[in-house]
Chain A
């Protein structure tokens, strides 16, 4: 949890800094880069917070998927900022100019294939399984009994 909340706070500070920079020096590459870094950090941190198993460490599949998501988002946004403008005759990547392709497929498509599948695979550990749900219901019933029982 500490990693998650610290990451959310750091990401938030980065985004606020990017907005602040725009007031002084306009929406330049630096502001865009800091905004991208902050957004990636805040999203990964939120996933980290939400995908907390009740006991033990987070599943390797989930951590790997989040790592891949971070690399994809940071890499593709970074490439968009750093690589040069394409022109007529530039090679295409899956029908699009290199930078647009990296962003569309790297951020808009690949994570859609990876993250929901990782969520599905790790749901019994980070979400619920029948035993955990039954235990939740048993403990909830106990709490209700304590509430309504003799005092």
Chain B
């Protein structure tokens, strides 16, 4: 259980947040008329909404609980997960923004696997991408719902199991009724709550720790290795994190799928500015809380933590006003709910469009099927979260790497390089999916362990990139070119 004081201010903040989310969901649900509204918000979203919404779904509860805990535990090297945010929005806008936005307009696409299918004229590639997304999503959803259950239990003393179901019911309800339209506007609200909470808590950490320089001097006197560039990691491990979380960002479907939502492709110009600024403001919480908690433990002001995830609650309970703690816990709930909603939506799209599409089929009523798929996915994930078995933990851990290794080469390179071939895409997707699943499973079962610094996600990502390039070059002769409209988009 997360140690949270149940002060009235925290409960009131959580209640106000829930009311705000519900109001937006009700407003959005009245505007859903079609599957297009449900999956891509009718393609009528502006750039700031897109940037804030993308930030909210990209950052889960890990940002507020796991991230500061990891920084506290492993030192500066943990920040290599977050340093890429300075470039990832620009990178994805450069490689994917225009292409996905125009593909959505030209072909009416709503899912990332559909873009892969269109690029290579290949249903198998679309189906494979849909399978990869579904595999990763169930684990992601389950771990996020488990985290939501823990927070609800801490706030309202419901017990973890009921907390999971209360949280799941709330997200499933607005995901079913309002689809991604409710999702994107609640994401904006949730993103603003997250940014406000992070910024205010960061200011408190600076004040409590005697400024950045004061905190640094304490660390240098007592544990200088913590502030070495790699912290408790080796240089290889730290830079490997940077590689996976920068290049891998190009394959996160819940984030890049948002490019389909943009009303005017010309407004894409603003996306990197809005998204990068929003991400940096929210990530201040990791820097501030992780740093301050470590310093306060070293100074003896806080007893050593029994688990790194206690860093945020331990700091807030002692040093933040109840009102600020309430805003931050609303931010935690917001981060989890926005991510869950987005995963439910792309998971439902995979079930309703990608897998049937791979078999050449379409449901009669897509909107109805999408709502049923959302309900089914949410229920399965909540059951998995309650079971809380080792498989759930495993699936939750490797989601990012699975998306990256399976989707980045075929999508990010494929939409920009005419030399990419269908065979190259299939080979790289098979490599990424197979290596990640087998590697993570064998590692989890302790059949083998990789050397320090080598991760399954990093190795799978780089190998799938190389396989895509090599197989594409080798199979270029006789390979069918992209369809004329796709070619036009790639050349525009």
Contacts and interface: CB of A to CB of B under 8 A. Distances in A.
Contacts of B466: 9, 12-13, 16
Contact of B83 (A49, A108, A120): A108
A102 B79 CA distance: 13
Contacts of A110: 86
Interface of A: 1, 4-5, 8-9, 12-13, 15-16, 18-19, 22-23, 26-29, 31-33, 35-36, 38-39, 42-43, 46-47, 49-52, 54, 69, 77, 80-81, 85-90, 92, 94-97, 99-100, 102-104, 107-112, 115-117, 119-120, 123, 126-130, 132-133, 136, 139-140, 143-144
A9 B469 contact: yes
Interface string B58-93: 000000000000000000100100110111011101
A134 B448 CA distance: 56
B462 A12 contact: yes
A68 B284 CA distance: 25
Contacts of B212: 94-96
Nearest to B265: A128
B419 A5 contact: yes
Given A32-B230, A50-B95, A95-B211, 10 more contacts: A19-B462, A31-B235, A46-B250, A47-B94, A49-B413, A94-B212, A99-B228, A103-B79, A104-B83, A107-B86
Contacts of A139: 488
Given A120-B273, A136-B492, A35 B236 contact: yes
A49 to B, nearest CB: 5
A60 to B, nearest CB: 17
A116 B227 contact: no
Contacts of B230: 32, 80
A17 to B, nearest CB: 10
Nearest to B462: A15
A88 B221 contact: yes
Contact of A96 (B106, B216, B465, B488): B216
B255 interface: no
A81 B238 CA distance: 11
B266 A96 contact: no
B240 interface: yes
A128 B235 CA distance: 40
A100 B213 CA distance: 12
Given A8-B469, A115-B272, A77 B239 contact: yes
A126 B102 CA distance: 15
Contacts of B492: 54, 128, 132, 136
B300 interface: no
B251 to A, nearest CB: 12
B459 to A, nearest CB: 6
B243 to A, nearest CB: 4
Contact of B451 (A22, A47, A92, A112): A22
Given A115-B87, A123-B268, A87 B220 contact: yes
Interface string B444-458: 000000011110001
B94 A119 contact: yes
Interface in B180-224: 211-213, 216-217, 220-221, 224
Contacts of B106: 140
A81 B227 contact: no
A67 to B, nearest CB: 14
18 contacts: A19-B453, A32-B235, A38-B243, A43-B91, A46-B95, A46-B412, A49-B95, A69-B87, A85-B224, A88-B220, A92-B216, A97-B228, A100-B76, A107-B86, A111-B87, A119-B93, A126-B94, A144-B485
Contacts of A8: 413, 465, 469
Contact of B91 (A47, A81, A86, A96): A47
B33 interface: no
Given A35-B243, A87-B224, A103-B83, A27 B91 contact: no
Interface in B251-279: 265-266, 268-270, 272-273, 276-277
